[in-house]
A and B are shown apart, each in its own frame.
Chain A
Amino acid sequence: ETGVTQSPTHLIKTRGQQVTLRCSSQSGHNTVSWYQQALGQGPQFIFQYYREEENGRGNFPPRFSGLQFPNYSSELNVNALELDDSALYLCASSLDSSSYNEQFFGPGTRLTVL
């Protein structure tokens, strides 16, 4: 059983650019959630995908968007990057969208916006 993987590991972009981050969920999991973790802070929920549909969204602007594919892997897209978008982006998968299910986090993608 493979765990949650994310790519790339690190990324450097400039303000105004666009970025796509990728996540492969754990085998058998159909739900993926994305989080933003700024330095010294806890993860902040961006959104969740369940069976290819957005299933909930946190307090993030529309320039943060996502996709989930039939194999349940997922992408996070961020347009018009701002300096404050610099953070660790975490993906977590779970068996389904039930709130009591354990989430399995990937190692994250460290995004730096210059």
Chain B
Amino acid sequence: SQKIEQNSEALNIQEGKTATLTCNYTNYSPAYLQWYRQDPGRGPVFLLLIRENEKEKRKERLKVTFDTTLKQSLFHITASQPADSATYLCAAASGGSYIPTFGRGTSLIVHP
């Protein structure tokens, strides 16, 4: 079955460093991947979408890569701040499908 895997262990980093989160997929050829931020007790907030024919996408301090050979997406936050602390979700869907499959998310904790 299709699987989206994210590291279940929390990522702890110091303020100012770059946070890198990983999303791996198996039994799947997604046409695109999305990254969301979710704060406790809140709904996810869309951050970035990257398509299978794009290697990299940037938005301000955020960068996403999509490697179809490794079946992996990396999500980077540069110059991280304590306000970046949240759970980050990866979601994937096939072309033409409106049904995304979400990973369980990775918690990021940025220490001042």
> Which residues of A are interface residues toward B (Cβ below 8 A)?
4, 31, 33, 35, 40-45, 48, 55-56, 58, 90, 92, 97-100, 102-108, 110
Contacts and interface: CB of A to CB of B under 8 A. Distances in A.
Contacts of B101: 45
Interface string B71-112: 000000000000000000101010111111111110000000
Given A42-B105, A99-B95, A100-B32, A107 B100 contact: no
A43 B102 contact: yes
A98 B95 CA distance: 10
Given A42-B89, A99-B93, A107 B42 contact: yes
Give the 8 A-B residue pairs with the shortest CB-CB distance, closest first: A105-B43, A42-B102, A99-B98, A42-B104, A102-B46, A43-B102, A105-B44, A45-B99
11 contacts: A4-B43, A31-B98, A42-B91, A56-B99, A58-B99, A98-B98, A99-B31, A99-B32, A105-B45, A107-B43, A108-B41
A103 B97 contact: no
Nearest to A92: B43
Q: Chain B contact residues: over half helix, strand or loop, or mixed?
A: loop
A104 B98 contact: no
A107 B102 CA distance: 17
Interface in B50-81: 51
Chain B contact-residue range equals 20 to 34
Contact of B100 (A45, A97, A98, A106): A45
Nearest to B89: A42
